[in-house]
Structure 1
Amino acid sequence: MLTFAYCMEKREVSKVDQEPRLFIKSPSYFLNISKVLHELDLDESTSVYVKDTMFDEQIVEEKNETVDEVQIDPYLLKQLQFLEKPFRQRAYQPLLVCLKDGRKLTGTASDVQNDSLMLTSLELKIQEIIHFEDIQQILWRGRKLPTL
């Protein structure tokens, strides 16, 4: 069954099943699927692999790195998760970020990543990336920032 649409401006009849019903102007996005599939090419299941000594050394180094992780205050993590939403970044400004080295930075939270916060200082016109482990506390209007 074919359905037809009549366009008032151009006075054309077109097949609706073959054309998009809603066109949203946006930049084109192309994905090379064959390249992605080629990168994911898997070996046969009957293959024999030789144990690599370099691989064992890398595992030992990775284990040592995980031990050196710094513990971050859970309340501080909740405050930073609260700032992940763009609306909250705009609503709760300016922030006073007190660092463990004694510095106090004032600005707005521009971007919250997994391990860092980008603070934009309007008065100094600079952006600074602050790692979570360097933050002692975050204040908004002299009080602690709310959490979720």
Structure 2
Amino acid sequence: MEFKESDLPGIGRKFSIITASGDKITVIVHVTGKREMFVFEPDDFDEPACDVVMTEEEANQLGSVLMGAYFRPEQEREKELLLENLAIEWLKVPPNSPLAGKTIKEAQIRLKTGVTVIAIMKPGQKTIVNPSPDVKIEAGDTVVIVGTREQVENFIKEFEING
């Protein structure tokens, strides 16, 4: 990549970039705030293949997009919204918990609190991932739950867990 910057007296500043693929992009920033962008083909730096005129605001938005700070594909936005509202907690079941000695189904975890048990870590044993409703939870087990923050709080209160 080659980058050049120069003054254009009475007009503004000129920035030229030759990309790794050989294309040339020239941006002129006018003293008025107007931006002009010219794109040249690798084999013809004399005549632009296209040109775009932008306001300062439009140029700033485009710059944000190019930096990856502004535009995010819809999937990314949906993922962020989901993660903002999602809580995953690892909670050790104390001996006095109403959960100790019961299966997931018997405890009615999802019905009472809204959380989903995604794993159970039993001391000295392999972690049970996606446990079936018939798996018994014992005191000393660590349950991994997922839900909203409110649902996790409900779980902690309902089953007397010291979060």
Structure 2-normalised TM-score?
0.24
Between structure 1 and structure 2, the one with the greater Rg is: 2
Higher strand fraction: Structure 1 or Structure 2? 2
Structure 1-normalised TM-score?
0.25
